[in-house]
Amino acid sequence: MLRLGNREFTVHEPVIMAIVNRTPDSFYDQGATFTDEPALARVEQAVAEGAAIIDIGGVKAGPGEEVSAEEEARRTVGFVAEVRKRFPDVVISVDTWRHDVGEAVCEAGADLLNDAWGGVDPKLAEVAARYGAGLVCTHAGGVEPRTRPHRVAYEDVLADILRVTLGLAERAVELGVRRDAIMIDPGHDFGKNTRHSLEATRRLGEMTDTGWPVLVSLSNKDFVGETLDRPVKERLIGTLATTAVSAWLGAQVYRVHEVAETRQVLDMVASIAGHRPPAVARRGLA
């Protein structure tokens, strides 16, 4: 069972986390949801299409203009409060590695802290424990936030992913974060080249076998683009193929841009696996 905010998700229930970027320079939407009204419209659409979690980010992952903690908070805290007011049942996640930003968004109503940079600020887990929030424990290869990997190498990439994420998860439990509010994330593209991310996907079953809920953030990422030689806006098919494989191997939470398409893929895989009945079953019965 995964419990986030006032929601509970069973083991075989796939969960969609919709991305809402509060940045002017995000790699995918180039700032389309930087201002409040488009961002709120995005939340409304994502919830209508089946997202249970809204992941709000105030700093783009890649290199770019410096964003202070104060500016990151300015972009996210008030928006979290507004989403909390308008959508009381949605799980609100904030993508941040900074403990002071984490504290401010939890005060505003966030349910989950998505630490995509692998515990670089160890106080973030302490904030999650103090506020009763959930935590995403991610493998980022030990790189500094907002940097790209350069000739990174692993003797065994999945072994390193497990070592880091399980260590972060157990530390979070020791600090007081609820075990059923913690997810582990292999961190596709973060501190990895394309072959590393493909191997992490291929061996994802080793992560799901640990019993921790696994979150994957695959949407339109560079490893998809390089694998198929496609630019950012032409990576949906590759993303959905990777989503289907990840679902078959047991991942539970999917951080995505395209909610409706992802929902169909996850429902189809769940039905093939026997965890979900067909929405309609008339064929051969008339």
**What is the domain-level CATH number for residue 169?**
3.20.20.20
Residue written as token pair 């903690």: 69
Domain assignment present for residue 286? The answer is no
Q: What DSSP element (H or E) covers 278? A: none
Domain assignment present for residue 65? The answer is yes
Residues present in the chain in total: 286
Domain assignment present for residue 131? The answer is yes
DSSP code, position 47: H
Domain assignment present for residue 176? The answer is yes
Pair 83, 54: CB distance under 8 Å? yes
Total count of domains within the chain: 1
Q: Which structural domain, as residue segments, surrounds residue 81? A: 2-273
Domain assignment present for residue 279? The answer is no
255 is an active site residue: yes
Active-site residue identified among 255, 263, 282, 283 = 255
The pTM for the full model equals 0.96
Gap between the Cα atoms of 6 and 29, Å rounded: 30
Domain assignment present for residue 233? The answer is yes
3 is an active site residue: no
Gap between the Cα atoms of 207 and 273, Å rounded: 19
Of 234, 135, 245, 227, the closest CA to residue 189 belongs to 227
Q: What is the pLDDT of residues 229-286, one digit of tens each?
A: 999 999 999 999 999 999 999 999 999 999 999 999 999 999 999 999 999 999 998 7
Gap between the Cα atoms of 5 and 47, Å rounded: 15
HSE-CB for 131 with a 13 A CA cutoff: 25
Active-site residue identified among 171, 221, 263, 276 = 221
Domain assignment present for residue 152? The answer is yes
Residue written as token pair 């994420």: 165
Q: What is the pLDDT of residues 36-68, one digit of tens each?
A: 999 999 999 999 999 999 999 999 999 988 999
Domain assignment present for residue 281? The answer is no
